[in-house]
Amino acid sequence: MKKMYVFIALMLITSLSLAACTSSGVSVIPTRTLPLPGDQVYPEGVAYDPTSNSFFTGSTTDGTIFRGDFPEGQAYTFSAGGADGRTSAIGMKVDCRARRLWVAGGSTGLIFVYNIDTGSLIKKYTTPQTTITFLNDIALAPNGDAYITDSYRPVLFKIAGSDSQPGELESWLDFTGTAVQYVPGALALNGIVVSTDGQYIVVVHTTDQKLYRVSVSDKTVINISVGSGLVPGDGMVLDGQVLYVVTRASTANAILVFQMSPDFSGGTLRDILFDPTFVFPTTIARAGNRMLVVNSQFDKRSAGNPVLPFTISEIAIPRVP
């Protein structure tokens, strides 16, 4: 197994050098770590609110939501675990305009929407009952629509945006018969982003190690061509045409940086961001000229020996070559 991890790490570096001759291959970037309270947190999601200059993350163990304020970066409990029936907190997104925090509930099949400023619950959604579910990540479109991936059932959920009250839950897209394949028990769609014009949705398939584009207008799905640069992907950030994808392979915990084509049908690997503070990273959020990287330590969960405190890495975003 260790040999396989080393091979993947070498493959990443080799793919990068082939894809971008002007790139140095590896970017080592200055970092600070933001500590989280609790000894069984195993965080997964993260979101940033520029209005209050604060970040949110959550516990996958009991659903506690933490809020950290900059510049100190100290985190405290925003909503206690178990509140509103929330026993797990996975993907998160902030709607700055409507002052809302969206939270995906993983295997609970629940979605939560909170008032950022008061901490009060605005709305809770229950997805249709199924044998197995894992609501993983959330993306917000420019008009406020929320899209939610399910890693175990082939459905992309949507909740229409509204300044007054979030809309109703909709099973917006059934992936059955599309390019996206779901295999029982295997982790499928994970991270999700929406283009700045709202025309395209980009999702990453963790097991198949592929990126897919969904056209919002007609719901067509295509595989995005990125060569051999992708390995198991998780959370993503889209900045214009630059796509950041978290990946994990033991010795190759990193963020892949792709320059996407105008219509998101293809992409070129431009950089790989490493940092020694990355510990089984899962998700990222942009905070100005910084990136917040969640160190989940999921690889230490079964043994119950995490390195405390749990942290989020705050890294500078380098210029894309």
Residue 121 lies inside a defined structural domain of this protein: yes
Beta bridge partners of 170: 158
Return the CATH number at 166. Answer: 2.120.10.30
User: In angstroms, rounded to a whole number, what is the distance separating the alpha carbons of residues 48 and 55?
Assistant: 4
Q: What parts of the chain have a pLDDT lower than 50?
A: 1-26
Residue 96: how many other CB atoms lie within 10 Å = 13
Any idea which residue has 């950030």 for tokens?
237
Would you say 77 and 61 are in contact if contact means Cβ atoms under 8 Å apart? no
Beta bridge partners of 56: 47, 67
What single DSSP character describes residue 229? -
User: In angstroms, rounded to a whole number, what is the distance separating the alpha carbons of residues 26 and 13?
Assistant: 7
- The confidence score (pLDDT) of residue 321 equals 62
Residue 301 lies inside a defined structural domain of this protein: yes
Give the number of domains in the chain: 1
Question: Please, what sign has the CA dihedral across residues 202, 287, 43, 269?
Answer: positive
Find the radius of gyration of the CA atoms of the chain. 18
Residue 321 lies inside a defined structural domain of this protein: no
pTM of the model: 0.91
Longest CA–CA span in the chain (Å) reads 54
User: In angstroms, rounded to a whole number, what is the distance separating the alpha carbons of residues 67 and 221?
Assistant: 36
Which domain does 111 fall in, by range? Answer: 2-316
Helix (H, G, I), strand (E, B) or coil at 218: coil
